């Protein structure tokens, strides 16, 4: 009698089953087996070790499923590695990989032909052959990091790298990037290309898997779950915008698809191309210490104007003359301008008579006035209350509005340029794209490239994000500036208007390498990643017990209240260790000391 360990796509570790006489199974095979009285699909992880308990109590595998071996040896290895690394049961990893349906084809209503999505053609850039060969030449496993001068270069490089290959996975951070990459891949690979992402229905997803398993498709473009595409052979994986936080799965197993891509490549003997106009600190550090090969094409310096709003003449309370001139000059040349302000709402109302300032009862943060709703809102936790007409303390009407949020900024800009059509973020959400050449909004409003020239891009007080309690805050600000600058047409200028120029000293030239080296030096001193490994423990509901062990080389910070999703708060503990082995080994002891309703573990949080 043979025994096998099976994984079911649920929060469940491997379970041991007996195989019926004459059924030979290899790892990765799909089978049917009874679980809790009902028959379910499961994946064979391998032959079982010593069977715990009585062999006679084990249930029998019902049958193998015709799809056969769906996972291949390397994907089974990847599954086991993820389970160990992310401290997540094998079943949950399996569910994260292929969904609870496990390749099952449900009957479905007549398939409607999907309409071809309109797309902008990819502006193709000349990529130096020699640079491309630096990536294409080396055989076998290896990670290459392209620090691209622009997103256009990044995309062209991926195009060149993928061309002529077989067994390729191209990962993009978001659904919205698929229409950018699909046209050129489709052009070259036709039906060999398939698109895979989380918004597909179960049946569509099963169709894609069928095409991949039958060998009909060998190029996949998709979001993070496409890293698990069940190819027999993968020769390369490309990860576009590799630093993106969207690669982090926030449910089931909390994996990072970029890191999983590298692991997958290492078990498959494939090569990896990480690309970004602003690589993440971890990846760049790996390149600096020779773990990754760094590809750095020449870049043109970006013209940046830093405007100190405390020292410069102001056109309105929140718009400096310099910024105003920049916008005007872009518009006069027939080009567009994009202005980003990340603070939502209008401003912070303060009573000039008694100095009263409304604070959030739970966070203590100043409440921000939101005019359309006539409400005061806490930017941190979302608590809101009706705005006051008179000062609640002294009844005075002498209210001063401090600071400039997006709403105020929109108002002032419209007043300054009464004849220019402006697309504001609030309007854009309702009306969709407009052809206004002046765009104002948070970073979400940054328009796609290719819709006319942009000669001025401005950002107001980007240092606001520094006050987030997060060691990555500065990196995020820098990245945002890089992506904003990327929208500029050649010859354009990036305007940074700030009231705290001292905080932006290292950022103002947008010199990535100097910035990231300084950042890495600081993280080294403070012991943050990549010089340590971190994991979060998120505790929802009241903590019933908290007894943290003292461990060598492991530091436990917190608990601190944190907003984990909109409106959902949790107590968060951060565990820091000097290596991922130490981190992994510390967790069981730490988790034993915590009792609460719901506890979630997140290794390598972003």
Partner DNA sequence: AGCACGCCGACT
Partner DNA sequence: GTCGGCGTGCTC
Q: Is 527 exposed, middle or buried (0-12, 13-18, 19+ CB in 10 A)?
A: middle
Distances in Å between the Cα of 229 and the Cα atoms of 167, 189, 219 are 10, 17, 9
Q: Give the DSSP H or E segment for 129.
A: helix 129-136
Can you name the residues that pair with 111 across neighbouring β-strands? none
Q: Which stretch binds DNA (CB under 7 A): 9-17, 236-244, 477-485, 557-565?
A: 9-17
Token code pair at residue 171: 């990962």
What are the structure tokens assigned to 72, written together?
């291949």
Angle between helices 512-526 and 473-486 (to 10 degrees): 170
Q: In three state form, how does the secondary structure of 270-291 look? A: CEEEEEECCCCHHHHHHHHCCC
Which position among 1, 21, 24, 37 is part of the footprint of DNA (CB under 7 A)? 37
Under the binding rule (CB under 7 A), the answer on residue 11 touching DNA is yes
Closest to DNA by CB, 134 or 540: 540
Instruction: Between 16 and 256, name the residue whose CB sits nearer to DNA.
Output: 16
15 binds DNA (CB under 7 A): yes
Q: Tell whether residue 543 is a contact of DNA (CB under 7 A).
A: no
| Residue 128 makes contact with DNA by CB under 7 A | no
Please give the backbone phi and psi of residue 603, each rounded to the nearest 5 degrees, phi first.
Answer: -85, 140
Q: Which of 64, 100, 561, 606 binds DNA (CB under 7 A)?
A: 100
- Shortest Å distance, C-beta 265 to DNA: 31
Sole binder of DNA in the list 7, 16, 155, 423 (CB under 7 A): 16
Residue span binding DNA (CB under 7 A) among the ranges 31-39, 195-203, 232-240, 332-340? 31-39
Span interacting with DNA, options 30-38, 220-228, 420-428, 502-510, rule CB under 7 A: 30-38
Q: Work out whether 599 is an interface residue with DNA (CB under 7 A).
A: no
Phi, psi of 467 (to 5 degrees): -85, 5
Minimum distance from residue 594 beta carbon to DNA (Å): 14
CA distance 304 to 184: 33
Residue number, 86 or 528, with CB nearest to DNA? 86
Comparison of 56 and 550: residue with beta carbon closer to DNA: 56
User: Minimum distance from CB of 471 to DNA (Å)?
Assistant: 34
Which residues are within 8 A (CB) of 553 and not within 5 positions of it... i.e. 6 or more apart? 577, 578, 582
Based on the shown chain and the rule CB under 7 A, indicate whether residue 36 belongs to the binding site for DNA. yes
Q: Which stretch binds DNA (CB under 7 A): 15-23, 317-325, 417-425, 454-462?
A: 15-23
d(CA 162, CA 273): 10
Cα(119)–Cα(110) distance, integer angstroms: 27
# chain residues binding DNA, by CB under 7 A: 18
Nearer to DNA among residue 321 and residue 597 (C-beta)? 597
CA-to-CA distance for 222 and 233, rounded, in angstroms? 17
Residue closer to DNA (CB basis): 57 or 84:
57
Minimum distance between the CB of residue 5 and DNA, rounded to whole angstroms? 8
Minimum CB distance to DNA, residue 479 (Å): 35
Backbone dihedral angles phi then psi of residue 121, each to the nearest 5 degrees: -65, 150
Q: Is 35 in the site for DNA (CB under 7 A)?
A: yes
- By C-alpha distance, which of 496, 495, 497, 518 is closest to 506? 518
**What x/- string results for residues 40 through 79 when contact with DNA is judged by CB under 7 A?**
------------xx---xxx--------------------
For residues 135 and 165, give the distance between their C-alpha atoms in angstroms, rounded to a whole number.
13
Q: How far apart are the first and last CA of the chain?
A: 47
- Min CB(48)–DNA separation in Å: 8
Among 10, 81, 401, 531, binds DNA (CB under 7 A): 10
Q: What 3-state DSSP class applies to 538?
A: strand
Binding site for DNA (CB under 7 A): 10-12, 15-17, 34-38, 52-53, 57-59, 100, 597
């Amino acid at each position: 009698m043979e025994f096998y360990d099976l994984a079911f796509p649920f929060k469940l570790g491997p379970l041991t089953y007996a195989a019926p006489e004459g059924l030979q199974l290899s790892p990765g095979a799909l089978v049917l087996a009874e679980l809790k009285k009902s028959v379910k699909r499961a994946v064979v992880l391998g032959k079982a070790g010593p069977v715990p308990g009585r062999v006679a109590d084990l249930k029998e595998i019902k049958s193998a499923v015709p799809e056969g071996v769906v996972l291949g040896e390397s994907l089974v290895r990847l599954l086991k590695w993820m389970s160990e690394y992310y401290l997540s049961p094998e079943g949950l990893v399996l569910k994260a990989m292929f969904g609870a349906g496990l390749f099952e084809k449900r009957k479905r209503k007549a398939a409607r032909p999907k309409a071809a999505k309109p797309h902008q053609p990819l502006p193709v850039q000349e990529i130096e052959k020699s640079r491309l060969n630096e990536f294409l030449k080396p055989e076998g496993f290896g990670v290459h990091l392209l620090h691209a001068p622009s997103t256009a270069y990044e995309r062209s490089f991926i195009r060149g790298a993928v061309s002529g290959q077989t067994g390729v996975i191209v990962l993009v951070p978001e659904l919205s990037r698929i229409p950018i990459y699909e046209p050129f891949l489709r052009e070259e690979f036709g039906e060999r290309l398939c698109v895979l992402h989380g918004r597909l229905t179960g049946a569509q997803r099963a169709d894609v898997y069928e095409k991949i398993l039958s060998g009909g498709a060998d190029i996949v473009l998709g979001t993070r779950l496409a890293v698990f595409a069940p190819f027999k052979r993968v020769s390369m994986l490309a990860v576009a915008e590799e630093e993106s936080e969207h690669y982090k799965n926030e449910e089931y197993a909390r994996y990072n698809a970029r890191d999983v891509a590298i692991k997958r490549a290492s078990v498959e003997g494939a090569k990896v191309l990480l690309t970004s106009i602003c690589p993440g600190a971890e990846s760049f550090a790996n390149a600096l210490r020779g773990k990754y090969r760094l590809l750095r094409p020449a870049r043109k310096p970006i013209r940046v104007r830093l405007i100190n709003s405390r020292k410069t003449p102001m056109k309105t309370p929140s718009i400096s003359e310099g910024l105003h001139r920049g916008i005007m000059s872009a518009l006069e040349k027939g080009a567009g301008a994009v202005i980003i302000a990340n603070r939502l709402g209008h401003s912070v109302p303060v009573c000039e008579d008694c100095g009263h300032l409304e604070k959030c009862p739970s966070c203590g943060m100043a409440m921000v006035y939101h005019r359309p709703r006539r409400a005061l809102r806490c930017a941190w936790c979302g608590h809101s209350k009706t705005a006051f007409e008179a000062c609640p303390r002294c009844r005075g009407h002498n209210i001063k509005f401090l600071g400039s949020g997006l709403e105020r900024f929109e108002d002032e800009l419209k007043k300054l340029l009464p004849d220019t059509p402006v697309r504001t973020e609030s309007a854009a959400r309702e009306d969709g794209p407009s052809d206004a050449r002046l765009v104002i909004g948070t970073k979400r409003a940054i328009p796609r490239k290719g819709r006319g020239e942009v000669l001025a891009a401005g950002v107001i007080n980007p240092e606001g994000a520094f006050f987030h309690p997060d060691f990555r805050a500065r990196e995020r600000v820098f990245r945002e500036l890089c992506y904003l600058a990327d929208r500029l047409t050649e010859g354009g200028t990036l305007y940074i208007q700030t009231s705290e120029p001292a905080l932006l000293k290292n950022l103002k030239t947008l010199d990535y390498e100097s910035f990231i080296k300084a950042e890495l030096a600081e993280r080294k001193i403070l012991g943050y990643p990549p010089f340590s490994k971190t994991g979060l423990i998120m505790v929802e509901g009241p903590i019933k017990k908290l007894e943290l062990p003292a461990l060598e080389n492991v530091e436990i910070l917190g608990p601190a209240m944190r907003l984990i999703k909109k409106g959902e708060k949790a107590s968060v503990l951060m565990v820091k260790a000097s290596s991922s082995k130490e981190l992994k080994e510390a967790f069981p002891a730490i988790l034993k000391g915590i009792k609460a309703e719901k506890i979630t573990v997140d290794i390598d949080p972003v």
